[in-house]
Each structure stands twice: as C-alpha cells, then as structure tokens.
Structure 1
Amino acid sequence: MSASEDQCIGQDQPDAELAHDLATLRPQQLRTKYKAEADSHRAMRQRSHDGRIIDPAWDTLAGFLSDMGRKPSPAHSIDRLDSGNPRYGPGLCRWATKAEQTRNRRNTILVNWLGQEMTLAEFASAIGKDYGRVYYRHSKGDPLHEIAEEDAPVSSTFLPARFQDDAEAAEKWRSDYAAWRSRVIRSRRKYALPEVFEIVTLSCDCRTAERWLRKKGYFELSSDEVEEAEQLREGPYGRMYRLGPEAIREAARALIRNAPSVAVKIIGPPPLKHWDLWRWERWFMGRSVADE
C-alpha cells in the first residue's frame, strides 16, 4: 500500500531504512526494532476471533510493514478505510489517530461549519457548548448558526462560606459537585450550577435529618429531657437540621445574584421553602420534580 499524506500511513518519501531492514533482518529482529508496529500487527491479528478477515499478505510482520510502513506517531493505530468492510489487508487500511477514526465511523455526524467539514462533536467543542444540547438541536433540524448563537449555559465559581478557609474541605466539596454534575442528564446540566448543587443536596440532607430526628422523638421531648435533647441537637443530624437551612439560604442568595434565570427555575418565587427543594434531585437525574 502506498503511503499518502491524507491517509496518514507512513512517510511521504520511500523509507530506505525500513526497506533495508525488511530485506536483511530476521522476524524477531524486526519485532524488536519495530515494537510499536509489531504490537499493532499482533492486535490486528487477534481481531480475527471477532470475525475480522486478515489478508494472507499480512500474516507476517514483514508483509504488514511493507504495505503500512512505520507508525507516524504513538497516537496512530490501524484504521480500516471502509468501516463496514471486515477485511484487513493491502489498500484497505491506514494509520490514523483516534479523532480521524471517529470521523470514519458510519454513525459519525459530519457538518460543515465556516467552510470546514467536522464532526458534530468537534462543532460543539468549537462553539463551546454541551454536545448533548447540540445533538438534540441538530436532530430537530435547527441550523448550525442558530445552535452556535444560543445563549451559553451560566457558569459559576460559587464556594460555600464554610469552606473559604479550609482548602482540603473546599477541594472535597468541588469534587463532590463535579461527581454530582456528571450524573445529571445532559439536557439539564445547564441548571446544575454549584449553588444549585448546594441547595439540592443540603435540602436532601435536611429532609433526611428531620426524618431521623422525628423517629427519635426529638420534637416531642419534654423540658425534663433536656440532656437527651441536647445530645440529639449536637449530633450530626441535629447540626444538619439546625445549620443546613442557613447554608441553603446562602447558596440561594448567590444563585439569585449570579444566575437569576436559573434561580427562577429552581427556587421559584419567595419565600424560600428549603424543605421542598430536595425533589429537584430526582429531576436532575431524569425523573419528574413532583416524584415522591
């Protein structure tokens, strides 16, 4: 197979060193000197177990190298020019990067943006928007320029005041937020701001704390049971029940200030009723906000 620039399959000029090695080196010496190519050759041959067909000309590493040449870089791997053809052999494959292979898949969506052909994922990255949102609007038939002009999701650098002087706790909170946001369904991530994470998760925690305290009879304890009440009050659930609402209000005030459109969606009109906001956790994960 001849090496061509657009197929990324070797050198622009004949590789004199490779040709000499193919003529003089034994198979083991070839595998040692061209280890990366040998690894790709071995991996390709193993695909015959999955129904792929390997041309006999490529049974040996020498035959493979004589057609494919060297790998242009460690990021390149074998790619079939026709992804629907199960055969590997001369004239059927190329060295390609992961991005190039993605473009070669049959289910990859290609678009033309500003005179350049690119995948829909590359388009989403170019305009700085969430791929799920771009895919949804493209599937509806919306023009690319309208998708690109859509207002970008609001961003925020909110950090709860209780973590301002505790770098380790702040980093843990940010990690928890990132993990939570990654579970939010794509179409609703534009609302999944740090303030919203604080409001929703603390509302869930406050609800859990209230249920636990009610189960322990905290709200029915008499004045003679001060010691028991104090123990419950200073326990983790008691502290959450007492301190959580203020932390929720802090996040709500920040949300109203930083992203009023999101605040209208999540908080609604005043007064703030934090004990109802736990329901949004279900909505962010793809269920109705009214689900119990």
Structure 2
Amino acid sequence: MISRATNPKDKNYSYYGGRGISVCAEWRESFEAFVRDMGPSHKAGLTLDRIDVNGNYELANCRWATSVEQGRNKRNNRMLTHDGITRPLSAWAEVVGIDHTVIRARLYHGWTVERALTEPVPKRQKHGSLTFNGETMTLATWARRVGIDRATLAGRISHGWSTERALTTPPRPIGRS
C-alpha cells in the first residue's frame, strides 16, 4: 500500500501514487495506527480495498474485501443503473439471472439497460432446435425454411432475440449501407 502510493519505482505506482492516491499520514508513519483502525488481522481470502477507487488509503475509505468485491470495485467496470440502483454489470447478471455475456451483447446491440436486464432469455431446446407456432425443427432446418443464414439465426438466438423475432426478421441485405 505505502510503496505503490509513494515509490515511483514500484511497478504499480502509476495506478496509485501516479494518479494522486495517497496513504494517510498516520498509517504511513505507524503500522500500529493501521492495525488499530483496520483490525489486527483479517479473515483468510480478504485483502485491503479502497471503497472509492479514486480515493486515498484512509480509515473512511478502506475495508477488507473478497476478490469478488475487489473485482467489482475497479475503474474499468461497466456500471449499470436500473430502478435507481447502480451496480457493475456482473452483479446485475447475478441479480437478474441472465448471463453477463448476454447482457453485454444486448447493450452492444443497442438495447436499453432496462430491456437488457428484464427481457427473459429464450429457453434453448435440445440439440439446437427451436419451436415456433407449434413446430419444432433444428436451427439449420428453420434457417433454410425462412431464408436466413444458420449462423445469423444462431447469433440472434444467442443475443437474446425471441424465437419469433429471430425467425421473422428479414436478414440485412449484404453490401448495402
């Protein structure tokens, strides 16, 4: 903590001291003060974490955290706000029960946060088959029937499109802007 915030030769200095992150004078001068404030020991698997990743190492901004908590408290996390609550995308994935890659793909394709987090993912059926209007066929068979490339159809389904939308939306013309 002290080295990465104060020593320009520390390999991580640019991420801490180089960004203006400092260690409070009391902790910098006295390990006993650090132990008094943070506790004499911590549970296995916990490491020191700054609550505000842009804040300093000081009592009001430090905690012992798990690797999952630390991973969700990084500058490069994609933060999403839904119903007035802001969480990292990975935390929302757990809360709503949708794989984080599906949420990320939905957002990439222009979905709103609300829709990406609330629209159910179509249930996949055995062996890559789809059921639509009471008929069950493989992706390849549906693709031939509706005139859509199989990979396009598979991509639509994997990005959370409903079966109906995936099968009834015409493919984009190739080579046209």
Normalising by structure 2, we get a TM-score of: 0.52
Q: Is the 8 A contact 1:54 1:89 kept in 2?
A: yes
**Bigger fraction of residues in helix:** 1
Residue 56 (1) aligns with residue 13 (2): no
Q: In structure 2, what is the Cα distance between the partners aligned to 1:146 and 1:125? A: 11
How far apart are 1:67 and its partner, in Å?
A: 1.2
* Paired position in structure 2 for 1:45: 2
Q: In structure 1, what is the Cα distance between the partners aligned to 2:128 and 2:115? A: 31
* Paired position in structure 2 for 1:95: 64
SS of 2:64's partner is strand
Q: In structure 2, what is the Cα distance between the partners aligned to 1:108 and 1:257? A: 32
1:1-292 equivalent positions in 2, closer than 5 A:
44-48=1-5, 49=10, 50=13, 51=17, 52-59=21-28, 60-85=30-55, 87-106=56-75, 107-112=77-82, 118-138=87-107, 140-144=111-115, 147-152=118-123, 154=124, 156=126, 255=128, 260=137, 262-264=139-141, 268=144
SS of 1:260's partner is strand
Change (3 A) 1:69 1:140: same
Q: In structure 2, what is the Cα distance between the partners aligned to 1:95 and 1:148? A: 36
**Bigger fraction of residues in strand:** 2
1:260 counterpart letter in structure 2? M
Gaps of 5+ in 2: 156-177
RMSD of the TM alignment (CA)? Answer: 3.9
Q: Is the 8 A contact 2:49 2:65 kept in 1?
A: yes
SS of 1:95's partner is strand
Q: Is the 8 A contact 2:51 2:63 kept in 1?
A: yes
SS of 2:52's partner is coil
Change (3 A) 1:262 1:81: same
Instruction: Among all aligned residue pairs of Structure 1 and Structure 2, give the percentage whose two residues are the same amino acid.
Output: 24
SS of 2:59's partner is coil
How far apart are 1:116 and its partner, in Å?
A: 7.1
How far apart are 1:265 and its partner, in Å?
A: 6.6
Q: In structure 1, what is the Cα distance between the partners aligned to 2:44 and 2:62? A: 17
Gaps of 5+ in 1: 1-43, 157-253, 270-276, 285-292
| Higher Cα radius of gyration | 1
How far apart are 1:68 and its partner, in Å?
A: 0.9
Change (3 A) 1:57 1:91: same
Change (3 A) 1:257 1:145: closer
Higher relative contact order (CA 8 A, sep 6+): 1
Q: In structure 2, what is the Cα distance between the partners aligned to 1:64 and 1:134? A: 41
